[in-house]
Structure 1
Amino acid sequence: AVDHLQIARELGPLIESCSDEIERIRDLPDNLFERLIEHDLFRLVQPRDYGGAEVSPLEIVRFIEEIGRHDASTAWCLGQNNICGAIAAWMEPDAAREVFSSPRQILAWGPGPGEAHAVPGGYRLSGRFDFASGSRHATWLGAHVPVYLADGSRKPAVDGSTTPYTLLFPRESVEVKDTWQVIGLKGTGSDSYVVEDLFVPEHRVVARHLSTPRRVAGRLYALTQSNLYASSFSGLALGIARAYIDDFVGRMRDTIPRGAARSRGHNHVVQSKVGQSEARLRSARAFLYETVEEIWSTVQSGADPSLDELVRLRLASTWATQQAREIIADLYLAAGALAIFESQPFERRFRDIHTVAQQIQGHAAHFETCGQILMGMKPDRSMFTF
């Protein structure tokens, strides 16, 4: 079996050497992208039936965490593009082979208002979609929209619900807008795209609802893409925090402030912050890893995850992301003026982790949802099931 974690470690120096360029061009540079393709690192979550590695959930978390230690934008793109590829498990085989025909066939998508209307042979799609991470090197894009039949009624899912469908189409068939002017995760190129009355054939209209039978046997796909996004992006947050602590310790140990006799590392506040940060990071990581392993054990047994397990996964992933953000915010303040310089390894990670924590998968609002369920209430469960 391919050791993707070891590959991530070996690529670490190259990724770090590209980090300034990644930030500047707001994309992955060609030399790095080609190495990722060479190691087939955009198909880790795709079904084996279509050339993917179909790794376990914990493997993708570990992989993204390791890449995140070296560059957050690279890790985010790999997480996003890989998990988009899991949709192949719900696609008609011929359509999956069309979209995912080689390691260079990469899918990206983003949310946005839009709709599709039935016409002979398929649907006409219109809308604007944003936050399409990894779209600059993608070959395919997707849209999650309500679908309307010829009589104007909403096309239901298998269980009768009105969950959106996903339509897939070549990137070159739509207008991509350079909108990614942001403070963090700059290198993800999470642009917007506009679709105007685009014909999408029936075979590239995908239902990925829980009620939709999967077309491959792999137990990985008993988890939703939302479950995989949550766990992998929280792994990324842990990777950013791990690198931040390590660099903080090195700089504080070796830097002697002006007018001081000893390094910053001798400051009692700095020492306490390091100890607390290490404890918080390791406990958050342990909670995430334990939860991912538990839910994977359940699905490997042939069962679908219970609501209790999905709540724990959402709690663990959100907690990991928010703890990573708090750790970095505390250490940023403790580093003093040193932290504001672009020449130091602090300010970019500070911006990146705050951007990660703003994204829906790691947003603190999930604590409220989980708390309601734990108290026996019935909140919106869409973040657990789609």
Structure 2
Amino acid sequence: MRLADVIAVLDELYPPALAESWDSVGLISGDPDQPVRHVHLALDPTAQTVAEAIASGADLLLTHHPLLLRGASQIPSTTSKGQILRAAIKNDLALFNAHTNADRARDGVNDALADAVGLRDTTPLVPANELRLEKIVTFVPHDDASKVIDALADAGAGAIGDYSRCAFLGTGVGTFTPGEAANPAIGERGRAEEVPETRVEMVLEPRRRTAVIEALRAAHPYEEPAFDLLAMVPLPTDQGLGRVGELATPMTLRTFTAHLAGALPAAPVGIRAAGDPDREIRRVAVLGGSGDSHLADAARARVDAYVTADLRHHPASEHLADGGPALVDAGHWATESTWLPLVARILTERLGPDLQTSVSEICTDPWTVRA
């Protein structure tokens, strides 16, 4: 299959529109038309994981973290990022990442973490903005309606849940008078025309607006196709940052911390907890990666414990002093790498057994020594 086929599945699973405005997600390097037989997955695009992907014969390295988050105007091979990019390009290894879009989406980082922790009936800790859709409405001669619908669907319109090419059709009469400089597909210059037409309505995501309008103009038989673009009332969504759920069996914070040590991938940094060791833990919030900016959200969720990473001394101390839930810092790499086997399995299910997947065995947590 082509790299573009894999990207289409990844963008469906983890829509780029869910990413933070500051984030960098999607194809970092590679040709969308290049063949892909083997996808290697890692949390970070480091020299080690790129070398591991190349040695495995992979065509694509899929990571959570981006290589060029802040952007760059120069990437010489004298820098670490330049060396990574050079090695990937020399070996036809495409690089792709899904970052904060995979944090928010279902079957993403936080669902994988919640499953590893053992949480049931989860909901987002910080719900994403409601899903926004638009509707395009156009008017086509009856015989051309199917062709236009196909073109709009190929550009991303008409997707509703597990259904594609969804459209509503109505009939009516369109009227127009071609000007002297016009080149009408139907009718004559200067003469009023009435044409039986089909009204076509299809929904689309705002990010697909340009592609859909271009497809409409290319497929429509009229020189100047008429269309309306309508904003729709946002729809509720169950996507968002973090997850909140309950354990099947409550346990003390001391036991819960030990439980996490066995449930999450092992890293040298280990797992640390803050709070009364004998506090009962039943309702839990999780957020993979850096999470101390959401301490207030965890407190508002009325959980007994908040599992995340990269917690700082003063915010954690003040949070506990104000009566907030117990805190568990399980490490950035450990809380996010639980996603890798999940997305590997989904890719195989969606794209078939001919696509080989492998998950990195390298712990890319920068903290490597603990005394």
Fold-level match, TM-score > 0.5?
A: no
Query: Given the two structures, how large is their TM-score scaled by the length of structure 1?
Result: 0.26
Higher strand proportion: 2
Bigger relative contact order (CA 8 A; separation at least 6): 2
Higher helix proportion: 1
